[in-house]
Amino acid sequence: MSSFPLRSRAPRSRTLGQLAGEIGADVPTLGSSIEIRGMAPLDRAGEGDLGLLSSASYVHMASESMASALLVSRSLVAEAGDALAAGPGRTPRPVLVVDDAHVAMRRILELLFPELPPEPGIHPTAVVHPTAMLGNQVQVGPYAVIEEDVRIGNRTRIGAHVVVGAGAELGDAVTLLPQVVIYPGVRIGNHVTLHSGVRVGVDGFGYVYEEGSHRHIPHVGGCRIEDDVEIGANCCIDRGSIGDSRIGAGARLDNLVHLGHNTVVGAGTMLAAQVGSAGSARIGRGVVAGGQVGIGGHLVVGDGARLAGQAGIISDVSAGETVMGFPARPRMEFLRSAAATQKVPGLLREMRSLRARVEELESDRGVEGSK
């Protein structure tokens, strides 16, 4: 029993013509029978690779790429021109033209490297409590621990050294990669993926100062992760102190995200690496937060808001608003302020020059007055 690859390591090669038909690309005018075994950046692609050209920034690399064929966004065809028509040595080269090369890339990679089905069974070193209920085709890896009264749905994969705490519930087709820890009572929906090292349902950073010391508040709330959520490696999701923390359906969390107790994340929200929210923050639906954004406790970030990397959120953000900087401000206000800041050194030099001139004039006036 593997401790998973989740996808085939060996590519399921296809001809360029087959790929065109399967992803809805324009039929290539040449090279339909070329075998494609993988995808690679233009500067690293070789024989059997499909080179990705999705940005005008890389057009200059296309003509020198050793890729057997190119995958190109339709909007770049005219700009790329001769760079598409011929590779090194001006040899004609096939091109797959699609509406969006990144969307097509995802589909192609799924075809070349398909997801592997679970390997049902319980590894002999795993510990499964007799009251735990496991669905059909569940895979439990080496040294995993599944405690009492756990409920696990069909086709779920439990990786090596995973711990699923008492009373936790996991839906269908959940994937817990090695060393994930699910604390007691956590509820996880269907088609959820938690990458290595994730901790869900941890007690929050909740204390009261009493009798000369910080005393921990019991965290008796829960933590709920809805369907189709993916959480990156080493994220920590605190449980509620009273009431639940919740991550909405379709949310995506990058590595090293921390969500404090009672935080609510709306459906379809994306949080980049090292985003942190203090307790009881409310992050709306479809929000995008760049890396290292910090969100203060008890604040509300409205649906569809955009939080630029390293923004410090110290007040509510309206729905659809884009904010930047610390303290976070509306985008245009921040940019105007940043532009003005760039002028400060010059203004200081000018001020010093003017001050010197004023002092010189006053000195001259004093000399004239004494005559």
- Sign of the alpha-carbon torsion through 153, 139, 160, 251: negative
Q: What pLDDT score was predicted for residue 334?
A: 86
Q: Which helix (H) or strand (E) holds 246?
A: strand 245-247
Domain count, the chain: 2
pLDDT at 292 over 60: yes
**309, 191: one domain:** yes
Tens digits of residue pLDDT in 296-324:
999 999 999 999 999 999 999 999 999 99
CATH number of the domain encompassing residue 273: 2.160.10.10
pLDDT in tens, 263-282: 999 999 999 999 999 999 99
- The per-residue pLDDT for range 241-260, each reduced to its tens digit, is 999 999 999 999 999 999 99
Long-range contacts of 274-282 (CB under 8 A, 24+ apart): 279/204, 279/205, 279/206, 279/238, 279/241
Split at pLDDT 50, 70, 90, the class of 2 is low
pLDDT in tens, 15-57: 999 999 999 888 777 888 999 999 999 999 999 999 998 888 8
> In this structure, are 104 and 139 located in the same domain?
no
Boundaries of domain holding 67? 14-112
Q: What is the mean pLDDT of the chain?
A: 91
Q: Are residues 98 and 199 in the same domain?
A: no
| Residue 319 maps to a domain | yes
Contact 67, 88 (CB under 8 A): no
Task: Give the CATH number, domain containing residue 42.
Answer: 3.40.1390.10
Q: Is residue 101 located within the same domain as residue 166? A: no
Is 352 a member of any domain? no
Instruction: Specify if 232 maps to a domain.
Output: yes
123, 219, 261, 298: the active-site residue: 261
Nearest Cα neighbor of 22 from 106, 117, 92 is: 106
176 shares its domain with 321: yes
Q: Does 150 share its domain with 100? A: no
Is residue 4's pLDDT more than 70? no
221 and 269 in a single domain? The answer is: yes
Segment 217-237 shows an average pLDDT of: 97
Considering only residues 8 and 238, tell me which one the structure prediction assigns the higher pLDDT: 238
Q: Say whether both 172 and 231 belong to one domain.
A: yes
Residue 298 a catalytic site member: no
Q: Read off the pLDDT of residues 84-121 as tens digits, 9 standing for 90 and up.
A: 766 666 667 888 999 999 999 999 999 999 988 888 99
Computed from CA positions of residues 127, 138, 147, 188, in that sequence, does the dihedral angle turn out positive or negative? positive
Both tokens of 185, joined, read: 């009572």
CA R_g for the chain: 29
Kindly report each contact of residues 19-24 with a partner whose C-beta sits within 8 Å and lies 24 or more positions away, as own/partner: 19/50, 19/96, 19/108, 19/111, 20/96, 22/107, 22/111, 23/96, 23/98, 23/104, 23/107, 23/108, 23/111, 24/98
